[in-house]
C-alpha cells in the first residue's frame, strides 16, 4: 500500500445527474440545467436526496430562492450534452436550446424536467447545509417518472438499458453489468 503525499477523496463512483431549475420573473421563464456528480441519498422515509453545488453558482441561488428543483438521470448516449451543461453558465446561455433537450413540465413543482432522461424526479428543498466551498441542498422527492422503455419485468428501472453514467477522478464512466442481487448470501 502506498501513502499519497496529499490527502485525496477517492470515494467512487459518483453519479452523474442533471438538475433542473426555473426562475420565473414577470411572466418570463428562465429554465436551467446543471450537471452534478456530488449527489446522494439521505433518507427513505421520506425520500430525501442531496446535491452539492459550489457556493455562488446560479443554479444554487435559484434553488434556494424557489425551494424546488428537478433531478434528471441521463443515459450515457447524451454525454456531450451533459458535459455542456457542466461547462456553461445558465445565467449566460439557455442550456435547453444549447443541448436540444426537450423540457416537460413537472406536475407538483414549477420546474422543467428532461424528456430524454430515463428517470426524472421532482424535489422540494428541505434544508441547506453550508460548507466552506459548497452548499449541500437536501431535497424531498415528491414525484418520480421512469420512461417505459427503461422498465424491467419487475416494474423497476432497467439500469443495464439506461447505461448510467458515473464520475471517477476527472473521467466519465458507464456502469458495467449486474453481478448479483442485494443480500444474495442470505437467499442461498
pTM score = 0.93
- Residue 12 contacts residue 166 (beta carbons within 8 Å): yes
Query: What pLDDT sits at residue 188?
Result: 64
- Residue 114 contacts residue 120 (beta carbons within 8 Å): yes
25-79 pLDDT, tens digit each: 888 999 999 999 999 999 999 999 999 999 999 999 999 999 999 999 999 999 9
pLDDT greater than 90 at residue 93: yes
Q: Which of left, alpha, beta for 42 (phi over 0: left; psi -120 to 50: alpha)?
A: alpha
- Residue 43 contacts residue 83 (beta carbons within 8 Å): no
Backbone angles phi, psi at 84, to 5 degrees: -60, -40
Distances (CA, A) of 175 to 12, 42, 120, 148: 11, 22, 19, 21
Query: What pLDDT sits at residue 105?
Result: 97
Query: What pLDDT sits at residue 82?
Result: 95
Cell numbers that stand for 53 in this block: 453545488
Q: What is the mean pLDDT of residues 118-146?
A: 97
Query: What pLDDT sits at residue 187?
Result: 79
Alpha-carbon gap, residue 143 to 108, rounded angstroms: 7
Query: What pLDDT sits at residue 58?
Result: 95
| Domains of the chain as residue ranges with CATH | 14-187 (2.30.110.10)
pLDDT greater than 80 at residue 176: no
Q: Share the mean pLDDT of the chain.
A: 93
One-letter-per-residue 3-state SS of the chain: CCCCCCCCCCCCCEECEEEEEEEEECCEEEEEEEEECCEEEEEECCEEEEEEEECCCHHHHHHHHHCEEEEEECEHHHHHHHHHHHHCCCCCCCHHHHHCCCEEECCCCCCEEECCCCEEEEEEEEEEEECCCEEEEEEEEEEEEECHHHECCCCCECHHHHCEEEEECCEEEECCCCCCCCCHHHHC
Amino acid at each position: 500500500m502506498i501513502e499519497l503525499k496529499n490527502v485525496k477523496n477517492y470515494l467512487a463512483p459518483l453519479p452523474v445527474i442533471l438538475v433542473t431549475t426555473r426562475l420565473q420573473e414577470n411572466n418570463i421563464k428562465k429554465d436551467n440545467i446543471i450537471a452534478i456528480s456530488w449527489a446522494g441519498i439521505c433518507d427513505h422515509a421520506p425520500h430525501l436526496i442531496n446535491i452539492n453545488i459550489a457556493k455562488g453558482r446560479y443554479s444554487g441561488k435559484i434553488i434556494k430562492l424557489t425551494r424546488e428543483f428537478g433531478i434528471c438521470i441521463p443515459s450515457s448516449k447524451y454525454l456531450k450534452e451533459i458535459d455542456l451543461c457542466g461547462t456553461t453558465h445558465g445565467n449566460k446561455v439557455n442550456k435547453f436550446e444549447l443541448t436540444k433537450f426537450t423540457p416537460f413540465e413537472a406536475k407538483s413543482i414549477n420546474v422543467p424536467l428532461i424528456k430524454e432522461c430515463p428517470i426524472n424526479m421532482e424535489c422540494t428543498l428541505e434544508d441547506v447545509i453550508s460548507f466552506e466551498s459548497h452548499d449541500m441542498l437536501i431535497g424531498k422527492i415528491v414525484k418520480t417518472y421512469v420512461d417505459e422503455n427503461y422498465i424491467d419485468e419487475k416494474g423497476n428501472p432497467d439500469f443495464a438499458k439506461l447505461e448510467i453514467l458515473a464520475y471517477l477522478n476527472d473521467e466519465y464512466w458507464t456502469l458495467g453489468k449486474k453481478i448479483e442481487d442485494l443480500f444474495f448470501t442470505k437467499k442461498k
